[in-house]
Amino acid sequence: MQKLLKRIENKDITVGVVGLGYVGLPLAVEFGNAGIRTIGIDVNEARVAQLNRGENYIQDVKDGELKTLVESGTFTATTDFSSIKHIDAICIAVPTPLSKTKDPDITYILSVNEQLEKYVHKGLIVILESTTYPGTTRELILPALEASGLKVGTDVFLLFSPERVDPGNPVFHTTNTPKVIGGVTENCLTLGKAVYAHIMDELVPVSSPEAAELTKLLENTFRSINIGLANEMAIMCAKLGVNVWEVIDAAATKPFGFMKFTPGPGLGGHCIPIDPHYLAWKMRTLDYKARFIELASEINSAMPEYVVELVVDGLNRDSKSINGSKILLLGMAYKPDIDDVRESPALDVYSILNAKGATVKFHDPYVDQIKFDSQMEATVALDLSTLDQYDCVVITTNHSEYDIKSIVENAKLVVDTRNATAGMKADKVIRLGES
């Protein structure tokens, strides 16, 4: 172990990253920037070919950085898992979606497990970063590593370190977000810390992989529950004739005991809508019902339908039916100024409106096209001069480049789910959380 530790400290190692998406590619680039030979592994052949040409597709990665790493040979991508034989430390950052019944889908982790069983070797450090239920690291990956007769903690080393990526965040990124890390043994933790020390400003060691797994789930369950509270408060304020945004801003002036969360059309992104269900599923296996999680999910999941109700009410006020109306959604990404549409509530708003007979179009400056069922739909141009051709414009994502004032002036009806029209006095604006 000491020889391996010394090699890590001297950067005389090769790091592998499995899964080259929003989490994996920025991580691989940071290892490369640190001067460590890095191999990215992904099953998507087109993606791998694109990376090996130095072409970037992740907003949080700088094009020039990637190209430099590829040209210098510091970073290379492959679909060949046998490269694990030449890797010293491998980070697993594959997707962990939910099934239709909101149970964990760990298919991608199991697929990586099969490859680890084939190519595991003495001295390999394996770090799972994919969000999953507590126990996954020890219950699934550990047996795969030890199937060859190697011993975790002595021959091979296993850890869990949750990704904390916030796409598009201008302040916090891979290196300056504190890195939680939990090893199966002390030796595992020591080596894992040494690997991440090359790219992370701060490490937060915990006592076990389970503690690290639960840390990530707590973070996003906390957010899900509090967003659920804000969403329910918006509905209650509308019924009471009070502006929810005013209430939240006033409460946020308290310097202690309150953290500001805001309502919206629902939850989006890969983490908040999904992670709490991993914990709820695990607790069901232990005959325990995670009531806060289920209640928050119920409220948050109903918000797209509530937004559609606001559209229906607005159209009714103008003596129009939603069936046959032309609706424009502004913003399909799950949050402002990014291109990520994973779990975006705008997708649900689109589908519900479409099912009710509306003709729905969307505009998003970051998203060129989206597949709905089997049909690919492209973003339309945002032309203020023709905005009045739509019966209703719905602000589903408040991208900073939208000229909200001009949009309101030119639209017939605006449903604002993000408080983008705050301070504007206009009878044709319906805001979420107002009567």
Q: Are 262 and 248 in contact (CB under 8 A)?
A: yes
CA separation for the pair 411, 382 (Å, rounded): 12
Residues 206 and 355 in one domain: no
Residues 24 and 165 in one domain: yes
Q: How far from 24 is each of 28, 70, 276, 293, CA to CA, in Å?
A: 6, 16, 22, 28
CA separation for the pair 95, 83 (Å, rounded): 21
- 70 pLDDT higher than 80: yes
Residues 266-272: what's their mean pLDDT? 89
In this prediction, residue 276 carries a pLDDT of 93
Does any domain span residue 224? no
Residues 1-21: what's their mean pLDDT? 95
In this prediction, residue 286 carries a pLDDT of 95
Neighbours of 79 (CB within 10 A): 13
Name the percent of the chain in helix, strand, coil, to the closest 5.
Answer: 40, 15, 45
Residues 123 and 69 in one domain: yes
Q: Mean pLDDT check: name the lowest of 100-104, 140-144, 180-184.
A: 100-104
Residues 141 and 261 in one domain: no
pLDDT, one tens digit per residue, over 347-391 is 999 999 999 999 999 999 999 999 988 889 999 999 999 999 999
DSSP line for 235-284: HHHHHHT--HHHHHHHHTT-SSS-------S---SSSTTTHHHHHHHHHH
- 426 pLDDT higher than 80: no
In this prediction, residue 12 carries a pLDDT of 96
To the nearest 10°, the Cα dihedral for 357, 361, 364, 366?
A: 100
Q: Which two tokens stand for residue 217?
A: 């789930």
Residues 84-95: what's their mean pLDDT? 97
Q: Mean pLDDT check: name the lowest of 145-149, 267-271, 329-333.
A: 267-271
In this prediction, residue 98 carries a pLDDT of 85
Residues 285-295: what's their mean pLDDT? 95
Residues 324 and 414 in one domain: yes
In this prediction, residue 20 carries a pLDDT of 96
Neighbours of 181 (CB within 10 A): 25
In this prediction, residue 201 carries a pLDDT of 97
Residues 201 and 102 in one domain: yes
Residues 287 and 426 in one domain: yes
Residues 205-212: what's their mean pLDDT? 98
Q: Are 36 and 7 in contact (CB under 8 A)?
A: no
Q: Mean pLDDT check: name the lowest of 8-17, 60-69, 268-277, 283-292.
A: 268-277
Q: Are 210 and 129 in contact (CB under 8 A)?
A: no
Final residue before a domain boundary, out of 171, 197, 216: 216
Residues 162 and 125 in one domain: yes
In this prediction, residue 270 carries a pLDDT of 82
Q: Helices (DSSP H) in 34-139: which residue ranges? A: 45-52, 63-72, 107-119, 136
Terminal Cα-to-Cα distance of the chain (whole angstroms): 65
Q: Mean pLDDT check: name the lowest of 49-63, 98-112, 196-210, 390-404.
A: 98-112
Residues 211 and 262 in one domain: no
Residue 39, domain extent = 2-216
CA atoms within 13 Å, Cβ hemisphere of 345: 27
Q: Are 331 and 398 in contact (CB under 8 A)?
A: yes
Q: Helices (DSSP H) in 120-204: which residue ranges? A: 136, 142-146, 186-196
Percent of the chain residues topping a pLDDT of 70? 100
Final residue before a domain boundary, out of 201, 216, 231: 216
- 307 pLDDT higher than 80: yes
CA separation for the pair 193, 196 (Å, rounded): 5
CA separation for the pair 381, 128 (Å, rounded): 42
Residues 22-28: what's their mean pLDDT? 95
Residues 331 and 377 in one domain: yes
Arithmetic mean of pLDDT over the chain: 95
- 238 pLDDT higher than 80: yes
- Catalytic: which of 91, 237, 271, 392? 271
Domain of 74: which CATH number?
3.40.50.720
In this prediction, residue 435 carries a pLDDT of 81
In this prediction, residue 159 carries a pLDDT of 98
Residues 23 and 161 in one domain: yes
In this prediction, residue 35 carries a pLDDT of 97
- 214 pLDDT higher than 80: yes
Model-level pTM? Answer: 0.92
CA separation for the pair 342, 363 (Å, rounded): 17
100 confidence band (pLDDT: 50, 70, 90): confident
**Residue 91 is among the residues annotated as catalytic for this protein:** no
In this prediction, residue 224 carries a pLDDT of 96
Residues 25-41: what's their mean pLDDT? 97
Percent of the chain residues topping a pLDDT of 90? 91
In this prediction, residue 349 carries a pLDDT of 97
CA separation for the pair 424, 429 (Å, rounded): 9
Give the chain's domain count.
Answer: 2
Q: In what order do the strands lie in the sheet with 414-416?
A: 359-363, 326-330, 392-395, 414-416, 429-431
- 102 pLDDT higher than 90: no
CA separation for the pair 335, 330 (Å, rounded): 12
In this prediction, residue 1 carries a pLDDT of 82
Supply φ then ψ for residue 376, to 5 degrees: -90, 125
**Burial grade of 35 (CB within 10 A; 0-12, 13-18, 19 or more):** exposed
